[in-house]
Structure 1
Amino acid sequence: MQLIRGIHNIQPEHNGCVLTIGNFDGVHLGHKEVINALIKQAKELNSIAAVMVFEPQPRELFSPETAPARLCRLRDKYTLLASLGVERLICVNFNQKFATQSAENFIEDLLVNKLGIKSLIVGDDFRFGKSRKGNYNMLLEAGKASGFNVSDTASYKILDQRISSTEIRKALENDDLEQAEMMLGRPYSIIGRVFHGDKRGRQLGFPTANVKLKRRVSPVNGVYAVKVKTGKGLFFGVANIGSRPTVAGIRQQLEVHIFDFDFDLYGQTIEVILLKKLRKEMKFDSLTALTEQIVIDSEQARQFVQVLSV
């Protein structure tokens, strides 16, 4: 799949596509239906199936303190969309200059002149342009004038089932991993690169692979039994997701202790699949108390995954 980072990188040869616009956070089953419709239209029009996303997501620019936790990073989004058959991902830098352009300019300059869209799929609640004056009806009128079709994502619901990134976040916050998996179409996981930590886990007898959660707030928090995909294969383990209050941690990160694993993972990308929540993240009075709890967590996780392996 071709990735275009920034409007300035859109070239004349990119003109002509069938486009959908959205956050596509999590790339869940509802998104999959939209992508299937996008690809079908692209084939019918002998065109390219393209997706436009914004970085940062609009709410992260306008109200960063209350912006929802992300279900996945841009890199994960790229991989998931590519697996569904999307041919081009257009990532627009969402800044104040872009946000304050007129709705008319967004349509005429970007959608019509630069991208030459043949068809557009968006939600009927899609708002764009300065003061959010652009809406679905404006797109319909523009489509009639410029010769592109506009359809609503609601046309592609799955048996009227409510599937949204918001509902998935709620399920994760309520520790309902099964409900989240049903809406995602896959188990919820976190993908990231392993970095050098403070080696505290190794000192406590439980070496961990550490993954930063970047700038996003995690929709999950606590200790989990997990399955870990590495370059060496699949392994089980126990993971803590949070800020590590016992050791005065600040930045949110994922620490995973992989059972029966003795390979160097530094710099490698791993996927940590959440299987079962064992407890909330807690602050302990001492490292001794923390170590004792890690022993308990590890044993509980081992018992749970042994049942899965039978």
Structure 2
Amino acid sequence: MELIRGLHNLRDKHRVCVATIGNFDGVHLGHVKVLDQVKAKGRELGLPTVAIIFEPQPREFFAGADAPPRLTRFDEKVRLLRDQGLDRVLCLAFNEHLRSMSAAAFIETLLLEGLAVKHFVVGDDFRFGCDRAGDYAMLQQVGEAQGFSVEHMATHLVDGERVSSTRVRKALQANDLDLAERLLGWRYRISGRVMHGQKLGRTLGVPTANVRMHRFAAPLRGVYAVRVRLGSGEIRPGVANIGLRPTVRGTQPVLETHLFDFQGDLYGQLLSVEFAAFIRAERKFDGLDQLKQQIQHDIDAARALLAC
């Protein structure tokens, strides 16, 4: 799968395709159903398939730090889209220029000149362009005149309710990991490279692999039993804390993972931390001795939950 970053990187070879557009946060089962529509139409027309995404996501641009937590970091989203068998992902920078673009200019610049779309799959409530002036009816009207067709996204239901990124996020924030898995189609995980930290875990006898979250605000907070896929592909059980680490006055969110019975250097490796079960909420302890005692309780709880 080819990742195209920005309209300026579109070439003639990228024109004439079947496309869809959205945040695709989590690439959940509802998204998969839409992507299946796109791939089926691509096969029918003999054309490549494209998913158009945004970075940052529009709500992050408008709300900043008050935006809802993401389900997936950018790299993880791209990997999930690749796994769906798409030919290309076009990532548009959501900035003031894109925000202020008129609906007509959006169609002309992106769909006609940029991609020469022949079939476009969108939600019937999809709005675009400055002040959200463009809608499904406008796309249909322009499509009839310019030679491309427009189709509604399929809706996917679980327990009689529509699957959405918001619903997945609420399940995760409630630590209902099983429901989140049923909505996503995969067990929730966070991937990232191991960075050097304060090495506090080593002084407490429980070395941890630290994944910096940077600007990613995860929907989970607390301590979890986890299964971790290492860069080698090996899967190891462990316990993880995701949060601000209030006992040591942390200010940036960090994912800290202790792998059971592991010896080795993980710095720089890409880890995928899968959340198997919730253990407890993050809290501040009176000192390192109390924290160390609680960590041992957490390890015992995780081993019992993972049966290891």
- Stretches of structure 2 that go unaligned for 5 or more consecutive residues are none
- Report the count of equivalent residues: 306
What percentage of aligned pairs have identical amino acids?
48
**Which whole-Å CA distance do the structure 1 matches of 2:217 and 2:25 have between them?**
13
* TM-score, normalised by the number of residues in structure 2: 0.97
Superposed CA offset, 1:25-73 (max 9, x none): 0001111111111000011111011000000000111111321111001
In structure 1, what is the equivalent of residue 31 of structure 2? 31
* Residue 187 of structure 2 corresponds to residue 187 of structure 1: yes
Indicate the residue corresponding to 2:304 in structure 1.
303
**C-alpha RMSD of matched pairs (Å):** 1.1
Contact 1:111 1:117 (8 Å CA) reproduced = yes
Question: Residue in 1 aligned with 2:120?
Answer: 120
Task: State TM-score, norm by structure 1.
Answer: 0.96
2:178 corresponds to: 178
Alignment of 1:114-263 (within 5 A): 114-153=114-153, 155-158=154-157, 161-232=161-232, 233-263=234-264
Q: Tell whether 2:292 aligns with 1:274.
A: no
Distance of 2:89 and 2:16 partners within structure 1: 14
| 1:53 alignment partner in structure 2 | 53
Alpha-carbon separation, structure 1, partners of 2:187 and 2:200: 29
* 1:231, distance to aligned residue in structure 2 (A): 2.8
Number of the residue aligned with 1:41 = 41
Moved over 2 A (4+): 155-161
* Structure 1 stretch displaced more, 105-114 or 156-165: 156-165
Counterpart CA distance in 1 for 2:197 and 2:150 is: 49
**In 2, Cα distance between the equivalents of 1:275 and 1:157?**
25
Distance in 2, matches of 1:35 and 1:125, equals: 17
Tell me the amino acid that sits aligned with residue 240 of structure 1.
N
Give CA-to-partner distance per residue, 1:189-211, whole Å, 9 cap, x none: 01110000010001110000000
Offset, 1:257: 0.4
In 2, the alpha carbon distance for the partners of 1:74 and 1:200 equals: 29
Is the CA contact 1:33–1:158 (under 8 Å) kept in the aligned structure 2? Answer: no
- Residues 130-168 of structure 1, C-alpha deviations (whole Å, 9 max, x = no match): 111111111111111111111111x34357641111000
Task: Confirm or deny: 8 A CA contact 1:222 1:279 kept in the other structure.
Answer: yes
Determine the C-alpha separation between the residues in 2 that align with 1:50 and 1:246: 46
Aligned to 1:289: 290
Q: What are the superposed Cα offsets for residues 234-275 of structure 1, whole Å, 9 maximum, x if unpaired?
A: 110000000000000010010000001111110010000001
Equivalent residues of 2:181, 2:187 under 8 A apart: yes
Contact 1:37/1:156 (8 A) holds in 2: no
Structure 2 CA distance for aligned equivalents of residues 156 and 282 of structure 1 = 39
* Partner secondary structure for residue 162 of structure 2: coil
Q: Secondary structure of 1:223's partner?
A: strand
In structure 1, the gaps of 5 or more residues are: none
Which amino acid in 2 is paired with 1:157? H
Does the aligned pair in 2 maintain the 1:119–1:148 contact within 8 Å? yes
| Partner Cα distance (2:284, 2:81) in 1 | 39
Shift of 1:125: 1.6
- The separation in 2 between residues aligned to 1:282 and 1:158, in whole angstroms, is 36
Asked whether the 8 Å contact 2:29–2:156 carries over to 1, the reply is no
Amino acid at match of 2:245: R
